[in-house]
Structures are given as structure tokens and as C-alpha cells.
């Protein structure tokens, strides 16, 4: 395990976007194989799955040939774990819509430490490494102190290494809804007009509880030196017919900054320590310690540039749960396997929405449901 | 484009189409015999390259043959029905008359179902309003175009309107329901509920074919038979491949009765070979991403659940065999994912079947035992018990009900003279 940890740390220490595709393959393949072997030694069910994989893992010549787990498997109870219960420091839970079971991710201290280092390595490539005031567009206590941490809390916490101070600007409302703490927000803005600031919020929370009300009142906070990071997806905003350009413009008007200060990132708690911020070209990039494979639903082989498929995320970071190779329920288009105009190396892709759930229908559904929806 | 199929955006268009169909019905009677003539010509036309490759077309062609349909008409409507004659019953005369305009709400995942459903009502002399699911528009247009070409005298052309509109258009759904005298409704539970809730006239008759699954089972002597087992494997593969295992008659699980001293490994390897062959002959052309992820999930769940579980599958989502033991029906995945479960006694599995199971496909070496298994399955709610390899043969009763009879009125005439 110590040897594995050293190799993981070595990859984590590299500039995150310096490797071309082939170099990344070489760096990741053997490490992922060894991690898989380690995981199989600790979980008999996983070993059974890997044993049945059509390509023997040891002889795989590409990361794409290694056995991946569908992300839904991480919803199992008890959580799929590679460590003893007493070693689990925290359990991350994914956001899930009503009635759905969330993923449960067991973190030991080593994986938790790498998770923080991974997010920092990625984020500092986009916003620099300096600490700065951190405005969280959420309620205090989202990151909790308990044994479980939700997706919002994990995202908020992941950016805390960039914070010199943390201020939350939402409050729980009387009806269970959230409400903007204007006093707190305006005081924060007034005091930090000319200093660099980091803002984070879930996409729909930022829009619904901060941008919409302040736009309606034509309030501008005048904070030109900030970076706004947001995540959590667009589904709820699509229902309000808010697209990315409208969203970025709205944020820019409210904060008084340029729209290019707004950075959307894709992330999922199951892919601990890896986030995928949009670059200036509007693409998402993969850091050195991870890989993204977009698979053709018909063949499950990697798609060509310009094609859309199911996203598989790969990461060397987790050792407390089998999250190394996960087939997600998201769709993405591979823009290029290298050569993005922003200068970052390796695969760049764009998120294209969620995979529409398949339903068992006997002799049918009135609606064909053969297309994917966002 | 054939005028028989059109996109609809206005409820009034449906009302007008319904009125035209009703007028055409009044103008002329179409006996089952005359309908069969057109069907035979249509079946021949479907052989052409433009339509031959559409999934289910071979099946549709067999269904449209006189040899298939004549006995069904005779059984459901009685002797003489083919020529539209009255038949004597004591002092009375009986004859089948159409209900009128029959609306069809077919499933969106079976390519030929709009047409299959429609043919049942046409054989009863009805006119048809068919809602074509958006995803099936192009191929339905090609299939119905062949009917249009084959119907030289316009016997059926005047009785068919195929309507393409979004299922979310409540106003159009309601207009269609108001325009019909009967309905054939196929689909999942939610969809069926929605259609049943539409404002049909109080006299409208509804035939509902809801979601069900099917099961295959083999006794020990059948799967152990060295002479027969490869043929059985080919039949099972065929049943799984047809309709991409999405039909209510598609087997989702195969129960194998244990035999002392015999491992099923060799049989499973033969089944794998049959699946590989079938996949080479009939490769999938497209797959919804959600089905791919469901297949991957089923493979992983099965193997993680129990280290005694086995599975065989290629890298692609083409097919999957999940091998283990037990008499419970696993949650179906579809997409050519077959669970193969060993049981000590087939009756253990049969006893757990219920009305959710439509078809039981059987391979049994002993007729008396098969009869007992069939009776047990029927008592528990299974409607069709057939030989493996024939699970999709579309012959009434289907789901326990006739296919033509529900959409006709049996008119009774007791002469006043004599």
C-alpha cells in the first residue's frame, strides 16, 4: 500500500495538465492495474466481477480495457468499501432526487487527503494559488461536522484551501426554503471591492437565491476581481429557460465582473478529488492523475473526436473505495484528444446531459424514449 | 409520402379524420376475405429491400398470410365469417359487424406494433385511427407505404389514418379518444393508465395489453440431451433476440432443472455460442444509452452480489448471460440479458409465477410432466405456454384474450317469419 501511495502522490504532484494522451496512458495504466489488484484483494465481490471481465485486467493494454464499475453500484448498502469500518473517517453522499438512493462514498484519511490535494491542484490552474476571502452562496453548516457530507458540502469544502476567511450568504428560510442574507452579502462586498475574492455556489442556488433577486432590484456588488465557481448541473435552470450565456451575464451584472470570471465545473462525489472546470474555450480537461473515457453506447468502445457517448471517469486517488474506474450516467462529447486552444494537454470534452433511464416495459411504452435527454 | 400517415397538430384534424373514416365505413363493407386479399399482397410487397430489414417485418409477413389468419378468423368469428355470411345458431342468425372506428395506442419500442394492432381491427371490418409514436414515424411510413401500393381498389386505404403527434399533447390524445368506438392499448403501466383515462365515448370498448414479462424453462432431460441441446440453445437465442428482448413475450430468465452429477457449464457454453452466432447474424444497429448503462449495472450487480454467481458477456453490451441458482425471477434488465438459474425442481420456479408472466417457453422431454407444468403455470396467471423458440408467435388468444373478436359486435338476428 505504501508503494501505491507513493506512486499516487507522484502523479498528484505533477502539473495537472502537462501530459499528452499517450504519456497519461503510460502513467496511469500500470498504477490503475495495481490499484485494481489491491481492491480485489479487499473485496471478494469485486474480485468476482474482475475475474469475469472479457479482457484479463493484468494484460490490458489500454486504460479503456480495464474493468469499470457502473456508478450505480456505489449506491449499495452497506457502502462498497476497501477499508475496515473503523478506518472510515467520513462518508460522502451524492445529491439525489426524491425517491432515489444516493451514492455513499467511504473515505479514509489517505483518500480524504488526496481528495483535497486533487481539487487544489486543478482549481489553482484556473484561479491561481493565493488564499482569498471565500464567499459561499449557501447556508452555514452545509459542510457539517458529522460523519456524512453531501455533494454541496463536499464542493464547498473542496475549495476551502483557497480561503483566507469564509462567509456564507444564505440563511434557512421559515418554510424550509433558502433566503439571501442581504446584510451579510452587502457588508462582504463593501469590504472587499478591490481585493481578489472566490465565490462558490451550486448553479441553481446561485441563480435562484442570489442572481434573480439582485437582478430584479438592479443591485451590483462591484466586485471585479473575483472568480465565481459553480457546479451541480443545469437541469433546474433549463426548466426556467436559463442558458449558460444568460447565467454568466446575470452573474457578471450582479457582481460587476466580466462574464469570463464565471467558471462552471463538472464533478461528482464518486470521482473524489477530481473536478472538471470549463477552460476559456468552453471545454473540460482531465488532470494527470485521472482520465475520462467517453464510450459509444453501442460498442462501449471509446468514441472518436466529435462523438457523444457515456462518460467513464478514472482516477488513481481513491484507495478506500473502488472508485478508480466508474461508468457514469452522464453523456459527453469528446472535443479533442489533445490540442485544446487553452493550452491544456490531453482529452477535452463537453458535458451533454444525463443518460435517460431505461425502463422495463414489457410490450412497450407509448413514448419511444429512444433518445437521451438532458 | 403515403397519405395514410400524417403529422397532426390540431385536434380538429383528428375529428375530421374520424368523421371521414366513419363515412367510408358506412359506404362499403369489407369482409375479412377481402381484407385478407390485400394483406397477402402487402406481405409480398414487404419483401422488398426498403422494408425487409425493419425489425419484426418477417414476423409481420407471416402474420399477414392467409394460412395464419384464416383459422384465427374462423375460431374467433365463426364459420362463414370470411365471406361476411350470417351463420345459423338454432333459430337465430349471427354475424360479426365492426365496432366502427378503432383507435390504436401501440407501444413505442416494438417497431411493427402500430401495424399489428391495426390489422386485428381491420380484420373485424373496422376503420382505424393509429397514433404512431414519434420514434417509429419513418419506418411506419415505409411499411404503410407498401400497404398503400398493394391496395389497388382502396379497400383499406379508406379505413386507415395514421397520426403522428407527441404523446404529451393531451388535447390531441383526447380528440382521438372522442373519435373512436373502441381502442387497443399497448404499453407500460403508466402509459396504459394515461390512455385509459382519456374521454372515450361511454360505449367504447377497450382492449388493454399491459406490461408483462416472460420466462423460459427446461427440464433436466432436455438441456442434458446431447442430440437436442444445441438446437434448444439456438431457439432460446432466437426468442431473446427478437424485439431486442423488449416484448412481453421475451424470456428474461431461463430456469434449468438440476440433474444429479451433471453440471450446466457445458450447456451454458453452448448457449453462449448460440448468442454469439445470433449476434453475428443480427447485430444491434443502435441502443439507448440508458439501456447500455442498465446492462453494465446488471452484469456488475450480479457478480458483486454473490461470489458464487457467474456471468458471460462480451465487451460490448450485445448480450449477457447471468448464471446462478434460485427459483425467484430476477428483476429484468432486457437488452439481451438472460438470467440462467438452476433449480432442483422446475415446479419450484413455476409455483412462483404470477399474472405478471405472460408466456412460459418450455422444453420438456416428457409430455405428461409438461401438461402438469402447463396447468400449474396457467393456474398462477400465465396466459401462454409454448415451445421454446416460438415464444413470439403472435397467435390469439394473446394475453388471454382474442385479437379480432373484442373489436366486433356479434349481431344476432332472430327472423320474425316462421
More confident residue, A144 or A350: A350
pLDDT in tens, A291-338: 999 999 999 999 999 999 999 999 999 999 999 999 999 999 999 999
Please give the pLDDT value at position A141. Answer: 75
Q: How far apart are CA A258 and CA A255, in angstroms?
A: 9
Contact yes or no for B348/B380 (Cβ under 8 A):
no
Q: Which of B196, B279, B290 to substitute to test the interface with A, most A CBs within 10 Å?
A: B290
**Identity of the residue in A55, A69, A299 whose CB atom sits nearest the CB atom of B316:** A299
CB contacts of A368 in chain B (<8 Å) are 108-109, 133-136
CB contacts of A48 in chain B (<8 Å) are 303-304, 307, 309
CB contacts of A65 in chain B (<8 Å) are 315
pLDDT in tens, A333-353: 999 999 899 999 989 999 998
- CATH no., domain B213-387: 3.40.309.10
Q: Reply yes or no on domain B5-210+399-413 having CATH 3.40.605.10.
A: yes
- CATH no., domain A2-87+279-354: 2.30.38.10
What is the pTM (predicted TM-score) of this model?
0.86
With cell 408466456, the residue in question is: B359
Which chain B residue shows the shortest CA-CA distance from A69? B300
**Identity of the residue in B210, B292, B305 whose CB atom sits nearest the CB atom of A310:** B292
More confident residue, B14 or B58: B14
Q: Are B108 and A368 within 8 A, CB to CB?
A: yes
Residue-by-residue DSSP string for A257-322: S-GGGEEEEEE-TTSTT-EEEB-TTS-EE--TTEEEEEE-TTT-SBPPTT-EEEEEEEES--SSSS
Note whether A100 contacts B: Cβ–Cβ < 8 A.
Answer: no
β-partners of residue B104 are B130, B184
Here the cell at position A168 is 456564507
Name the burial class of residue A183, with classes exposed (0-12), middle (13-18) and buried (19+) by CB atoms within 10 angstroms of its CB: exposed
Q: Is the pLDDT of residue A358 over 50?
A: yes
The domain spans of chain A are 2-87+279-354, 114-266
Which chain B residue shows the shortest CA-CA distance from A75? B301
Counting runs of H as helices and runs of E as strands, what totals does chain B give? 15, 16
B340-343: long-range contacts (C-beta < 8 A, 24 or more apart)? Answer: B340/B253, B340/B254, B340/B256, B340/B264, B340/B268, B340/B271, B341/B253, B341/B254, B341/B255, B341/B256, B342/B255, B342/B256, B342/B257, B342/B258, B342/B264, B343/B255, B343/B256, B343/B257, B343/B258
pLDDT in tens, B373-404: 999 999 999 999 999 999 998 888 888 889 99
Q: Measure Cα distances from B291 to A360, B113, B247, B294 in Å.
A: 9, 21, 15, 5
Q: Is the pLDDT of residue A365 over 70?
A: no
Confidence band, pLDDT 50/70/90 cuts, at residue A361: low
Q: Which range has highest mean pLDDT (A301-310, B162-171, B255-264)? A: A301-310
pLDDT exceeding 70 applies to what percent of chain B? 99
**Identity of the residue in B110, B113, B292 whose CB atom sits nearest the CB atom of A300:** B292
**Identity of the residue in B134, B248, B313 whose CB atom sits nearest the CB atom of A54:** B313
Q: Is the pLDDT of residue A98 over 80?
A: no
Q: Is the pLDDT of residue A23 over 70?
A: yes
- B176: three-class secondary structure by DSSP: helix
Pairing state of beta strands B127-132 and B182-186?
unpaired
Here the cell at position A348 is 477535452
Q: Is the pLDDT of residue A372 over 60?
A: no
Q: What is the mean pLDDT of chain A?
A: 88
Please give the pLDDT value at position A360. Answer: 54
Which chain B residue shows the shortest CA-CA distance from A332? B289
**Identity of the residue in A69, A298, A357 whose CB atom sits nearest the CB atom of B287:** A298
Q: Between A and B, how many residue pairs show a Cβ–Cβ distance under 8 A?
A: 175
Please give the pLDDT value at position A232. Answer: 85
Instruction: Identify which of A91, A68, A69 has the alpha carbon closest to the alpha carbon of residue A79.
Output: A91
Q: How far apart are CA A93 and CA A105, in angstroms?
A: 6
Q: Reply yes or no on domain A114-266 having CATH 3.40.630.
A: no
pLDDT exceeding 90 applies to what percent of chain B? 84
Q: Which range has highest mean pLDDT (A107-116, A227-236, B340-349)? A: B340-349
Pairing state of beta strands A170-172 and A178-180?
antiparallel
Please give the pLDDT value at position A371. Answer: 30
β-partners of residue A163 are A132
Give the angle A17-A20-A22 at the CA atoms, nearest 5°: 140
pLDDT in tens, B351-365: 999 999 999 999 999
Confidence band, pLDDT 50/70/90 cuts, at residue A290: very high
Q: Which of B197, B243, B304 to substitute to test the interface with A, most A CBs within 10 Å?
A: B304
Q: At what angle do helices B265-281 and B229-241 cross, to 10 degrees?
A: 50
> Span B198-212, mean pLDDT?
93
Q: Are A54 and B294 within 8 A, CB to CB?
A: no
Please give the pLDDT value at position B418. Answer: 65
Contact yes or no for B348/B323 (Cβ under 8 A):
no
The domain spans of chain B are 5-210+399-413, 213-387
pLDDT in tens, A69-78: 999 999 888 8
Please give the pLDDT value at position B373. Answer: 97
CB contacts of A356 in chain B (<8 Å) are 288-290
More confident residue, B251 or A157: B251
Q: Which of A29-43, A298-312, B47-61, B277-291 has the lowest mean pLDDT?
A: B47-61
> Span B71-89, mean pLDDT?
92
Counting runs of H as helices and runs of E as strands, what totals does chain A give? 10, 17
Amino acid at each position: 500500500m505504501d508503494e501505491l501511495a507513493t506512486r499516487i502522490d507522484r502523479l498528484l504532484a505533477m502539473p495537472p495538465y502537462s501530459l499528452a494522451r499517450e504519456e497519461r496512458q503510460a502513467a496511469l495504466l500500470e498504477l490503475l492495474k495495481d490499484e485494481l489488484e489491491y481492491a480485489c484483494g479487499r473485496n471478494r465481490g469485486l474480485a468476482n466481477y474482475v475475474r469475469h471481465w472479457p479482457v484479463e485486467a493484468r494484460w490490458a493494454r489500454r486504460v479503456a480495457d480495464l474493468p469499470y464499475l457502473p456508478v450505480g453500484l456505489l449506491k449499495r448498502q452497506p457502502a462498497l468499501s476497501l477499508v475496515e469500518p473503523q478506518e472510515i473517517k467520513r462518508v460522502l453522499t451524492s445529491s439525489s432526487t426524491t425517491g432515489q438512493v444516493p451514492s455513499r462514498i467511504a473515505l479514509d484519511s489517505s483518500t480524504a487527503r488526496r481528495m483535497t490535494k486533487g481539487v487544489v491542484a486543478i482549481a489553482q490552474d484556473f484561479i491561481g494559488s493565493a488564499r482569498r476571502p471565500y464567499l459561499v452562496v449557501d447556508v452555514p453548516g452545509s459542510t457539517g461536522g458529522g460523519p456524512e457530507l453531501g455533494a454541496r458540502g463536499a464542493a464547498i469544502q473542496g475549495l476551502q484551501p483557497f480561503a483566507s476567511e469564509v462567509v456564507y450568504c444564505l440563511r434557512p428560510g421559515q418554510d424550509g426554503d433558502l433566503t439571501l442574507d442581504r446584510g451579510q452579502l452587502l457588508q462582504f462586498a463593501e469590504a472587499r471591492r478591490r481585493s481578489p475574492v472566490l465565490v462558490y455556489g451550486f448553479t441553481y442556488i446561485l441563480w435562484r437565491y442570489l442572481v434573480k433577486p439582485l437582478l430584479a432590484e438592479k443591485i451590483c456588488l462591484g466586485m471585479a476581481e473575483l472568480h465565481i465557481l459553480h457546479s451541480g448541473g443545469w437541469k433546474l435552470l433549463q426548466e426556467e429557460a436559463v442558458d449558460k450565456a444568460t447565467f454568466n451575464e446575470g452573474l457578471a451584472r450582479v457582481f460587476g465582473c466580466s462574464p469570463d470570471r464565471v467558471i462552471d465545473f463538472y464533478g461528482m462525489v464518486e470521482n473524489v478529488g477530481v473536478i472538471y472546470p470549463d477552460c476559456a474555450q468552453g471545454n473540460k480537461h482531465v488532470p494527470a492523475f485521472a482520465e475520462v473515457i467517453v464510450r459509444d453506447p453501442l460498442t462501449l468502445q471509446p468514441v472518436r473526436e466529435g462523438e457523444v457517448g457515456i462518460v467513464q471517469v478514472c482516477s488513481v486517488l481513491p484507495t478506500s473505495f473502488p472508485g478508480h474506474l466508474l461508468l457514469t450516467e452522464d453523456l459527453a462529447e469528446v472535443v479533442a484528444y489533445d490540442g485544446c486552444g487553452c493550452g491544456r494537454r490531453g482529452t477535452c470534452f463537453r458535458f451533454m446531459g444525463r443518460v435517460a433511464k431505461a425502463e422495463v416495459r414489457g410490450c412497450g411504452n407509448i413514448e419511444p424514449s429512444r433518445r437521451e435527454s438532458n | 409520402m403515403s397519405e395514410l400517415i400524417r403529422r397532426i397538430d390540431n385536434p380538429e384534424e383528428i375529428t375530421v379524420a374520424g368523421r371521414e373514416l366513419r363515412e367510408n365505413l358506412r359506404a362499403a363493407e369489407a369482409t375479412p376475405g377481402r381484407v385478407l386479399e390485400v394483406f397477402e399482397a402487402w406481405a409480398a410487397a414487404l419483401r422488398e429491400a426498403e422494408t425487409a430489414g425493419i425489425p419484426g417485418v418477417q414476423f409481420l409477413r407471416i402474420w399477414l398470410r392467409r394460412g395464419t389468419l384464416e383459422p384465427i378468423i374462423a375460431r374467433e368469428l365463426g364459420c362463414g365469417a370470411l365471406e361476411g355470411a350470417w351463420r345459423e345458431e338454432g333459430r337465430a342468425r349471427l354475424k360479426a359487424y365492426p365496432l366502427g372506428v378503432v383507435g390504436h395506442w401501440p407501444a413505442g419500442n416494438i417497431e411493427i406494433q402500430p401495424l399489428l394492432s391495426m390489422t386485428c381491427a381491420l380484420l373485424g371490418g373496422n376503420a382505424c385511427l393509429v397514433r404512431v409514436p414519434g420514434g417509429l414515424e419513418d419506418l411506419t411510413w415505409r411499411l404503410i407505404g407498401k400497404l398503400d401500393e398493394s391496395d389497388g381498389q382502396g379497400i383499406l386505404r379508406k379505413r386507415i389514418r395514421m397520426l403522428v403527434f407527441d404523446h404529451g399533447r393531451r388535447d390531441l390524445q383526447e380528440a382521438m379518444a372522442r373519435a373512436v368506438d373502441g381502442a387497443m392499448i399497448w404499453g407500460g403501466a403508466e402509459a396504459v393508465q394515461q390512455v385509459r383515462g382519456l374521454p372515450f365515448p361511454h360505449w367504447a370498448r377497450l382492449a388493454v395489453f399491459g406490461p408483462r414479462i416472460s420466462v423460459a424453462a427446461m427440464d433436466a432431460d432436455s438441456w442434458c440431451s446431447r442430440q437436442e441441446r444445441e438446437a434448444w440453445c439456438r431457439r432460446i437465442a432466437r426468442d431473446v433476440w427478437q424485439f431486442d428482448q423488449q416484448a412481453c413475450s421475451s424470456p428474461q430468465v431461463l430456469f434449468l432443472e438440476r440433474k444429479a452429477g451433471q453440471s450446466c457449464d457445458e450447456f451454458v457454453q453452448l448457449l453462449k455460442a448460440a448468442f454469439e452466432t445470433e449476434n453475428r447474424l443480427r447485430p444491434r444497429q443502435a441502443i439507448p444509452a440508458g439501456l447500455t448503462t442498465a446492462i453494465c449495472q446488471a452484469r456488475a450487480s450480479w457478480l458483486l452480489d454473490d461470489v458464487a454467481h457467474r456471468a458471460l458477456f462480451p465487451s460490448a453490451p450485445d448480450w449477457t448471460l447471468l448464471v446462478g441458482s434460485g427459483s425467484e425471477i430476477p428483476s429484468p434488465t432486457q437488452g439481451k440479458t438472460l438470467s440462467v438459474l438452476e433449480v432442483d425442481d422446475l415446479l419450484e420456479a413455476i409455483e412462483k409465477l404470477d399474472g405478471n408472466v405472460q408466456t412460459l417457453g418450455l422444453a420438456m422431454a416428457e409430455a405428461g410432466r409438461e401438461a402438469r407444468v402447463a396447468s400449474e403455470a396457467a393456474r398462477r396467471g400465465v396466459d401462454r405456454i409454448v415451445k421454446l423458440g416460438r415464444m413470439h408467435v403472435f397467435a390469439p388468444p394473446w394475453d388471454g384474450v382474442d385479437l379480432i373478436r373484442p373489436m366486433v359486435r356479434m349481431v344476432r338476428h332472430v327472423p320474425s317469419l316462421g
